[in-house]
């Protein structure tokens, strides 16, 4: 295949398993849920989140967290080609598109690109200006620019009653920061909310195309993950997007759909269910992950057009 580059093939999981007979296991999923009780949603946040275009997504991931199938996701990663940003299958090439992002996650795909300066110079002072407080600057502190989720929950779990509008905005900003860094832009560590995503929430009416940023981040995660072969290797990013996209197109790794949970949208069109709600109540597969990984790999290797 002339279009495939040796640079990517050298460490590609597919080549390592096929030609070097390496026995690789499923990747660890670095994406996290946001529907636990650690951070309480407050209706006072709604007017501000609405202005970012993130309200439908925020309501979706904070009301329910879907089960993510690591073996099935890894079997797809093994077929990802960074040169093309597509999955190479027996039936042809397929990929996640902006339309999928809009239909599944309800993220805005119009507007300005999410362009922010990722410099961490003076980040503590800027954080304090945005949310009223910041982590202490300790000697020899090697914590990356940002805040641990533990610190966020300890300081911003619930917005106090009777506070002024400025404080409500600070709590709303932290809430969005907490959610998007756990679900859309999760990194390899999984413990820290990176500072630059909070900086992107400086202005509520920035008109960012969050869907474009999420898709680009997923592509980058796939570009890296398809060349990871260590036992603790993982993948982050919007894996909910990839999972629902896969379930809608393949039988491979698809969970059993039990029922549809008719979420109350309170008559608000911005709270209506997205395509991901179709898979809200499913039966999990708790079989051996190594065995499932081999099974899904074989099923993708024998995929036919009628099965897509």
The pTM for the full model equals 0.91
Query: Per-residue confidence of the chain (308 residues) as pLDDT tens digits?
Result: 445 677 788 889 988 988 888 899 999 998 877 777 788 899 999 999 999 999 999 988 887 777 889 999 999 999 999 999 999 998 999 999 999 999 999 999 999 888 887 777 888 888 899 999 887 766 555 667 888 899 999 999 999 999 999 999 999 999 999 999 999 998 776 788 889 999 999 999 999 999 999 999 999 999 999 999 998 899 999 999 999 999 999 999 888 877 766 666 777 777 777 888 888 778 776 678 889 999 999 999 998 888 88
Listed residue (255, 250, 262) closest to 287, CA to CA: 255
Residue 159 vs residues 167, 168, 171: alpha-carbon distances, Å: 8, 7, 6
Confirm if 180 and 107 have CB atoms less than 8 A apart: no
Please spell the DSSP secondary structure of 216-251, one letter per residue. Answer: HHHHHHHHHHTT--STT-EE-S-HHHHHHHHHHH-S
pLDDT score recorded for residue 18 = 87
Phi–psi pair at 103, nearest 5 degrees: -70, -35
pLDDT score recorded for residue 283 = 79
pLDDT score recorded for residue 3 = 55
Decide the pairing of beta strands 234-235 and 28-29: parallel
Listed residue (158, 159, 175, 178) closest to 167, CA to CA: 159
| Residue partners of 214: CB distance under 8 A and separation at least 6 | 101, 105, 107, 184, 185, 237, 238, 241
Tokens of residue 177, six digits: 């920061």
Please spell the DSSP secondary structure of 255-272, one letter per residue. Answer: PEEEE------TT-GGGS
């Amino acid at each position: 295949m002339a279009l495939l580059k040796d640079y990517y093939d050298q460490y590609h999981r597919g080549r390592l398993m096929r030609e070097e007979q390496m026995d690789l296991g499923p990747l660890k999923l670095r994406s996290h849920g946001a529907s636990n009780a650690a951070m309480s949603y407050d209706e006072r946040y709604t007017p501000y989140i609405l202005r970012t275009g993130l309200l439908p997504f925020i309501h979706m991931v904070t009301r329910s967290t879907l089960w993510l199938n690591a073996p099935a996701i890894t079997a797809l990663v093994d077929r990802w080609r960074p040169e093309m940003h597509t999955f190479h299958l027996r039936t042809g090439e397929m990929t996640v598109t902006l339309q999928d992002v809009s239909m599944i996650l309800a993220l805005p795909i119009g507007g300005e690109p999410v362009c922010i300066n990722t410099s961490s110079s003076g980040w503590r002072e800027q954080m304090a200006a945005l949310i009223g407080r910041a982590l202490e600057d300790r000697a020899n502190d090697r914590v990356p620019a940002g805040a641990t989720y533990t610190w966020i929950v300890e300081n911003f779990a619930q917005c106090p009653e009777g506070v002024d509008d400025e404080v409500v905005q600070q709590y709303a900003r932290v809430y969005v920061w907490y959610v998007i860094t756990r679900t859309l832009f999760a990194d390899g560590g999984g413990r820290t909310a990176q500072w630059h995503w909070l900086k992107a929430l400086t202005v509520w009416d920035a008109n960012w195309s969050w869907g474009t940023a999420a898709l680009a981040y997923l592509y980058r995660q796939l570009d890296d993950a398809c060349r990871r072969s260590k036992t603790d290797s993982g993948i982050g990013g919007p894996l909910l997007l990839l999972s629902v996209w896969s379930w809608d197109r393949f039988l491979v790794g698809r969970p059993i759909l039990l029922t549809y949970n008719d979420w109350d949208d309170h008559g608000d069109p911005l709270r209506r269910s997205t395509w991901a709600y179709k898979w809200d109540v499913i039966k999990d597969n708790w079989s051996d992950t190594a065995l499932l990984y081999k099974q899904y790999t074989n099923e993708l290797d024998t995929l036919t057009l009628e099965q897509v």
